[in-house]
Amino acid sequence: MKVILGKIIKKKTIKIIKTLGIDIFEIVIKMPVSFIVFDSIEYVESSDKIILHYWEEDFDMSYDFDELENEDKLKIYEILSNF
């Protein structure tokens, strides 16, 4: 059940990123989740991945959306769906 929920959230999140990001598929927005505040989110179509970024000084750190807990995935979806 958790796997199915995670896949549904991912599909819906990709749709929002594509809509808001137009041709770039990246959105710069603060997204707090349970363990960090991400600074941007992007969809990489070639690998069908959602990558979350956070910056620490001059370093861009990335995190795979699929590795998040479903609660954090849902939180990101809710933040993006408010636009």
CATH number at 27 reads 3.30.720
The pLDDT tens digits of the residues spanning 23-64 come to 889 999 999 999 999 999 999 999 999 999 999 888 999 999
Q: Which of 47, 77, 52 is nearest to 64 (CA)?
A: 52
**Biggest CA-to-CA distance, the chain:** 39
Q: Provide the domain count of the chain.
A: 1
Q: How confident is the model at residue 65 (pLDDT cuts 50, 70, 90)?
A: very high
